[in-house]
Structures are given as structure tokens and as C-alpha cells.
Amino acid sequence: MGLPTISMTTTQTAQGHAGPVPGSALKIFSCVFFTFICYLTIGIPLAILPGFVHGQLGYDAMLAGLAISTQYVATVLSRPQAGRMTDLLGPKRTVLYGLAACAGSGVATVVCANLTATPSWAFGVLVAGRLSLGIGESMVATGAIMWGIGRVGAAQTARVISWNGVSSYSAIALGAPLGVVLTQYGGLMATGILVAVISLLSIILAWRLSPVATVTGKRLPFTRVLRHVTPYGVGLALGGTGFGVIATFITLFFAHEHWAGAAGTLTLFGLCFIGVRLLLPNAINRFGGFRVAIASFLVESVGLAILFLSSGEPMAYAGAALAGAGFSLVFPALAVEAVRAVPSQNRGTALGAYSVFIDFSLGITGPLAGAIVNGYGYRGMFLASCGGVLCALLLSLWLSARRQPAA
């Protein structure tokens, strides 16, 4: 999958920046819709699985975190292949395969719900479903982005990535409370059935959407692409710990503090994430990726510090809101810088390699944060994550300074 020439799909504004032509928004939305579906299948069980593993199956916080993080481990392992698939097979086929894997995770959840009498079997099936969901995430997310870029042009890369993120976190914001409601009325089985059904219906829609042509040319070795994107990916990984600890442990943190409304923090995180992208759609093109990333890390670290210091639900909500607002533009800001120098026929691979770092971050955040919780409590977990985000801020400052002489 390559990137078409910019002149075919963009116009020039008076300031000299590439701007979208009429109709490009619909082309983007028709592709990132599948990201919405994928992350809806992720968000639906997100708020209930830690409690299911910890409460009904009887495992500790570390294994509860492992159950969630298994998905991200699978995504780490499959993301490079997903990127290569978009370059060689095209993004449409990649998205179709990914949606099928998401459907498989729903089936596994249904099976798990019927094995609670044997916790070890239930946990094993649950982990298998999370692995399938992780593979599906890597394929759909990478494929949908490259599908959108292929339809509107390389100059709109930041725009496509931003709207892809809006789709993902709006789906999580909707999915978390939806999963809680479904569990109250139909149990874990109801969430599994819904995940399977919406994934299968989305396969039909994706099949009807026209593909984009792939670009021929020499493919760079993956190791070379990986070396190029690694500094940017490390910053992304450090920033991703904030989302990781909130998504995985906020429900248990609220239960530990005897607070109500834990699912609302995930919704608030997602809404603030979306709000920033809607209010600042051109921030990256206007100020540059590094400046946006630095400001984003600063806001996210403040949010995590507030969670560390929180004395009640309102303060925790404020911390989650700031963390969501801060994390909003991190991925596209650093992605634009990371893929800038990569040839068009390798950009799917580059995006996949870059995305590996957020998957790796979320994969290790669960068990690592669980270990911190066991030793230092939930507040120690938020403090450690805040420190990681501040390290990402310093790394972005260094990368920005190194880039300046070449400008």
C-alpha cells in the first residue's frame, strides 16, 4: 500500500499548507469507521474484565492486569506483519482479516462465560480471546489508516491519523459503559455475542468499499525502518503508560477507595481525547509534531499527578480528563515526524513499526503496574506513570533540538 501523489487529492491554502478537497472527509470516515468498530469490541469488555478475573475467577490484581494486557502483547507481535500486509496485500484485505479476528474474540468471550466453574479453563479461553483481539486490532488500525491515506493523499496523514484516533477513543468511551450495562442484564455472554455480531456485520460493509492500489518499489528491510522510528516510538510508549494504567486499573482503584462511577472516568478520558482533536484539528500542521507532542506530554503528566493526589471522585475525574486531553495528539504528532523520511512504498511498514511501541507500552503496563500496586498501592502506580510521561517530554525536547539544524 503506497501513498498517492498529493496533487491528486489536495489543494493549497494561502499559507502554503496542503488542505483537503471537498469530499475527502467522507472518504476518511468510511475507512476509520472500521477502527471505531474494532475499538468498540475492545471497549465493551474493558471495564468489566478486571472485575471478572479478580472477583468471579478469584485471581489477583497482577493477573487481572495480565488478562487485559495480553491483547496488547498480541498486537505488538502482529503489528509489523500488519504493516507489511498493508504494503503488499493492500489495506482492505488487512482490515477484513482484522475484523474476523475481532469476531473470534467475541466467540471466545461467550465460551469463557460458560466456564466460570473451572477458573483455569475460563482464564485460558479469555487469554486466547484477548490474543485474537490484539491481532485484530493491529490489522484493522493499521489497515484503516493506510486505507484512508490512500484515498485522500499523503498530505493529509495527520488528519487521517487524528480521525482514526477519534474513532478509537470514542468507541472506547461508548463501549465501557455499554459493557457494564450489558453485563448487568445479560452477563459476560451478552458482551461476547455483541462483539461477534458487530464484527461480522462490519466485514460485510468493508467488503463493499472500494480498495486502493498498492505502490510498487523496493521495500526497505523492517530492521532499517524500525531503527528510524525507534526514538519517536519510545516517546509514544512512555506517554502511553498514562492510558494504560487508567484503562486497566481505574475500576479497581475506585473500588479500593470506595468511590462510585469508575466507568465514567474511561468515558471522560475518551471524551476529552476526542474534544482536543475536534478543537485542534490543524495543530500539528500549524505548530509541528514536536511542539504539539511536548505540550501534550506536559498536560498528560499534570493529569496523572492529580490522580496520584486525588482525594475524591471529582479530583479523579479531573485527572482522567487532563490525561485524556494530553494523550490525544501524542500519536499523530510523533507519527508525522516518524514517517516523514520513509519512501511511500514503506509507509505502512513504518506506521506498523511505530505503532508497535504503543502496543508494547500497553502490553507491559498492565503486569508492571499491577506489581507496583501490590508493592506501593494504586497511587504509586499513577506516580510512576507520571514520571514516564515526563521522560517522554524530555525525549521530545531532545529530538526537536536534534532536528532543528537540518531544517
pLDDT digits (tens, 9 = 90+) for 226-253: 888 999 999 999 999 999 999 889 988 9
- Which residue ranges of the chain lie beneath pLDDT 70? 1-23, 215-218, 341, 404-407
Q: Is residue 8 part of a domain?
A: no
CB 40 within 8 A of CB 198: yes
Q: Is residue 276 part of a domain?
A: yes
| Domains identified in the chain, total number | 1
Label residue 221 exposed, middle or buried (CB < 10 Å: 0-12, 13-18, 19+): exposed
Q: Smallest Cα–Cα separation from 201: which of 47, 24, 36?
A: 36
Q: Is residue 10 part of a domain?
A: no
What region does 13 belong to: left with phi over 0, alpha with psi -120 to 50, or beta? beta
State which amino acid sits at residue 312.
G
Q: Is residue 2 part of a domain?
A: no
Q: Give me 228's grid cell.
A: 528510524
| CA–CA separation, 205 and 343 (whole Å) | 31
Q: Is residue 357 part of a domain?
A: yes
Q: Give me 223's grid cell.
A: 530492521
Q: Smallest Cα–Cα separation from 364: which of 224, 231, 238, 228?
A: 238
CB 220 within 8 A of CB 346: yes
* CATH number of the structural domain spanning residue 392: 1.20.1250.20
What pLDDT does residue 274 have? 85
For the chain, what is the radius of gyration of the CA atoms? 20
Q: Is residue 279 part of a domain?
A: yes
| CA–CA separation, 234 and 237 (whole Å) | 5
Q: Is residue 220 part of a domain?
A: yes
Start-end of H helices in 89-118: 91-113
Instruction: Encode burial over 90-119: b for 16+ CB neighbours within 10 A, e otherwise.
Output: bbbbbbbbbbbbbbbbbbbbbbbbebeeee
Structural domain range at position 356 = 22-406
Q: Is residue 9 part of a domain?
A: no
Q: Smallest Cα–Cα separation from 88: which of 210, 264, 216, 233?
A: 216
